[in-house]
């Protein structure tokens, strides 16, 4: 489904973000990418979204070379990938319901689909009762759950969660991880980047460990080892 083929990234100041990175992700897999800050985790996921271009090598998604997709087709590709960020990125002037609905509107979904699907994903993240709340009326954990609902509402093939628990306390971190596991159990591929040892050790899923732009471990049922 996803394949990184000897990917390298060197920035203009000659700093090396990635070096000879190769791995694949199978459909329905849950994979965690771990490493210290600056290890290359975020650069790696940006490659898949075509937000960064490799200096060498290729990134394939569903047998398509991501960086050969014409600019007018990039959004079509990105709609197959839902993204969750550390800082939530909710629209402050919209309610929880409207934030999720907006993602569907942007994808050209019909009004009846929006009315049907938004309540469904709110229920999935256990926030039906917060549908009419604005982001500043929600806790950090609740905001992240709304962000996850927004990421999955268009039924993407893949969810990228880039340090989604970085701003959360242990209780909310646990809840976010449980939701990501639930999404994965429903068949969606999940790629999680994190430096939270507790999260990784609890998941018991595949772990790719990065250090200074290189993959140094790839364990099928891994723990955080650095």
Between 167 and 138, name the one with better pLDDT. 138
Cα–Cα dist 148/125, whole Å: 8
- Comparing CA positions, the residue from 203, 216, 195, 201 lying closest to residue 177 is 203
Which pair of tokens denotes residue 82? 């839902």
- What digits encode the pLDDT tens for the residues 187-226? 999 999 988 888 888 888 999 999 999 999 999 877 666 6
Q: What is the pTM of this model?
A: 0.92
pLDDT of residue 148: 96
HSE-CB at 124 with a 13 A cutoff on CA atoms is: 24
**What mean pLDDT do residues 44-54 have?**
93
Please state which architecture CATH assigns to domain 26-55+75-219: 3-Layer(aba) Sandwich (3.40)
**What mean pLDDT do residues 161-180 have?**
91
Alpha helix positions (H), the chain: 41-48, 74-78, 96-106, 111-124, 140-152, 170-185, 197-203
Confidence of residue 121 (pLDDT cuts 50, 70, 90): very high
Cα–Cα dist 206/222, whole Å: 6
Residue 38, number of CB atoms within 10 A of its CB: 14
pLDDT of residue 94: 97
- What digits encode the pLDDT tens for the residues 69-82? 998 888 888 889 99
């Amino acid at each position: 489904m996803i394949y990184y083929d000897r990917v390298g990234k060197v920035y203009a100041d000659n700093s090396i973000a990635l070096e000879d990175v190769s791995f694949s992700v199978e459909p329905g897999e849950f994979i965690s990418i771990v490493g210290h800050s600056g290890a290359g985790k975020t650069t790696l996921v940006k490659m898949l979204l075509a937000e960064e271009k490799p200096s060498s090598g290729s990134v394939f998604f569903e047998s398509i070379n991501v960086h050969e997709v014409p600019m007018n087709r990039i959004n079509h590709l990105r709609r197959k990938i839902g993204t969750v960020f550390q800082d939530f990125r909710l629209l402050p002037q919209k309610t929880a319901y409207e934030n999720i609905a907006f993602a569907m509107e942007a994808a050209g979904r019909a009004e009846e689909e929006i009315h049907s699907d938004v309540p469904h994903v709110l229920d999935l993240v256990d926030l039906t009762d917060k549908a009419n709340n604005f982001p500043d009326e929600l806790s950090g954990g609740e905001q992240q759950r709304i962000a996850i609902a927004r990421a999955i509402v268009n039924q993407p093939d893949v969810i990228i969660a880039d340090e989604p628990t970085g701003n959360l306390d242990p209780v909310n971190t646990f809840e976010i991880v449980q939701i990501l596991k639930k999404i994965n159990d429903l068949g969606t591929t999940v790629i999680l980047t994190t430096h939270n040892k507790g999260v990784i050790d609890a998941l018991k899923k595949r772990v790719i460990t990065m250090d200074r732009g290189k993959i140094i471990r790839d364990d099928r049922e891994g723990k955080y080892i650095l």
